[in-house]
Every structure is written in structure tokens, then in C-alpha cells.
Amino acid sequence: MKPMPAWLALTCRLLLIALVPVALTLANVRLLMTPLFPNFEYNLPGFPLDLYGFAKEDRLKWSKVAMDYLLNGAGIEFLADLRFPEGQTAPPESCGDYTTRDCTYLYNDRELRHMVDVKNVTRGALWVWGVGGVMVLLSAGALFYFGERAALRAGLLWGAGITLVFYLGIIAVIAVNFNALFVQFHQVFFESGTWTFLFSDTLIRLFPVRFWQDAFIFIGAASILEAALVGAWAWFGVK
């Protein structure tokens, strides 16, 4: 068998370094977008109650619908057509002059516009995850097949190390000032002024700040654990 060209071995190693953190991060983002995380989150002791009337069962129901929208091929009408059960309405401050929609609809105009943006970001992220994951597997497989174990080991160790350092830093920031991190995250991915809502809006009632803080912690902790496993396998298993 011919040896792998040096340029190709270097390319595969660099791809592992760059894409292992991306693949691990987005895999954990995808895990969040299942009913399991909201079910766990809403059952946590001390999770803030909805002061406007959503029971836990309501949150579980509507959060699943919101996540289904992000992952399916439907347009925004999937959410726009949703209404509160008979006898319930949105709080007055979340309808009226704040939106062109009446109080029987679950989401107002601003929330619907934001969910379109979130769906676009989600689609992009899942596309990057798919391509990045395939590139990681192909690069690692090629290095292994051609016996480039040193390059494989180095690529995985560096990729895992970058992931560990990055998320240890993120966890530290969350402990000090999560709100600043949350704002910066939205400023990167969304247009200014499109992602702020009233406490009475459905999106905040379903997904308060505590929900997102725990989501960031989950992604960070899971990525740290997975990076540690990848690094351990590279160190002890790749000879």
C-alpha cells in the first residue's frame, strides 16, 4: 500500500483539530432539541413557574411544538396558526398595540419573526454538523487506514484539547455573568432588536433565562466529557 501523501496527512490532521470541537458542540445542540431536555428542565426543583398561567403540562406541550417547527420543513404558519385553548388568551401586554394579532394566538408578530430567524440558524447549524461530522470521520478513517497514527493522535488530542479549554472558559463565564454571554450570543446570530421580548410573551414563558442557562451548561459539560473521552482514546488507544 502506498503511503499517504504528506500534504493529505497534514490536511486530515488540521481538519480534525478544527472540526472535532464543532462536531461535538453541534451534536450536543441537537440533543437539546428533543423532548428529553424540556422534560428534564421543567421538572427540576426550583425551576421558575410561569406567572401568567402555563402549567408544566402546557410548557411540555408547547415547547415540543416549537422544537418540531425548528426541525421540520413547515413554514411559519406551523406556529402562526396556534391558538390558546378556549377560555385562555395572551396577557394584554403581549397583544393589542404590541402586535397585529389578537390575544387568542399563542405567538405575536415579533415572536414569529424571531422563530423564522431561529429556524434559519438551526438549519445552518445542522448542515455544518452533518458536513463537519462526515469530514471528521473521513479524516480519522483515512489516517487510520494509511497507518498515520501519529497524525491521527495529534489531530484528536488537539481537537479535544481546544474543546476542553473553550468550554472550561464558557462554564467560568456562565458562573460569573451568564446574561452577558447570552446577549453576546444573540448579537452574533441575530439582528439587533429582533430577539428581545416581554416576560408575558409565550417564548419567555416557555423558555425563561434559567432554561437557556442550563442549556449552555449542558452543552459545555457534555462537550467537556466527550472531549475528555476522545482525548483519552487518542492518548491510550491510538498507537
Write a three-state SS string for the chain.
CCCCCHHHHHHHHHHHHHHHHHHHHHHHHHHHCCCHHHHHHHCCCCCCCCCCCCCHHHHHHHHHHHHHHHHCCCCCHHHHCCECCCCCCCCHHHCHHHCCCCCCECCCHHHHHHHHHHHHHHHHHHHHHHHHHHHHHHHHHHHHHCCCHHHHHHHHHHHHHHHHHHHHHHHHHHHHHHHHHHHHHHHHHCCCCCCCCCCCCHHHHHCCHHHHHHHHHHHHHHHHHHHHHHHHHHHHHCC
Among residues 180, 165, 147, 179, the alpha carbon closest in space to that of 220 is found at: 165
Residue with cell 415579533: 110
Residue 11 has a pLDDT of 98
Among residues 210, 122, 231, 123, the alpha carbon closest in space to that of 167 is found at: 231
For the beta carbon of residue 23, count every other beta carbon within 10 angstroms: 25
Residue 98 has a pLDDT of 78
Residue 99 has a pLDDT of 81
Exposure b/e, 33-63, CB count within 10 A at least 16 = b: beeebbeebbeeeeeeebebebeeebbbebb
Instruction: Show the low-confidence residues of the chain (pLDDT under 50).
Output: none
Residue 96 has a pLDDT of 77
198-227 tens-digit pLDDT: 999 999 999 999 999 999 999 999 999 999
Instruction: Please report whether residue 101 resides in a domain.
Output: no
C-alpha cell belonging to residue 82: 396556534
Give, in order, the Cα–Cα distances in Å from 8 to each of 4, 82, 140, 234: 7, 52, 12, 20
Instruction: Please report whether residue 95 resides in a domain.
Output: no
Number of folded domains in the chain? 1
Q: Are 170 and 220 in contact (CB under 8 A)?
A: yes
Instruction: Please report whether residue 88 resides in a domain.
Output: no
pTM: 0.94
C-alpha cell belonging to residue 48: 421558575
What residue numbers bound the domain in which 34 lies?
Answer: 6-78+109-237
48-88 tens-digit pLDDT: 999 999 999 999 999 999 999 999 999 999 999 999 999 89
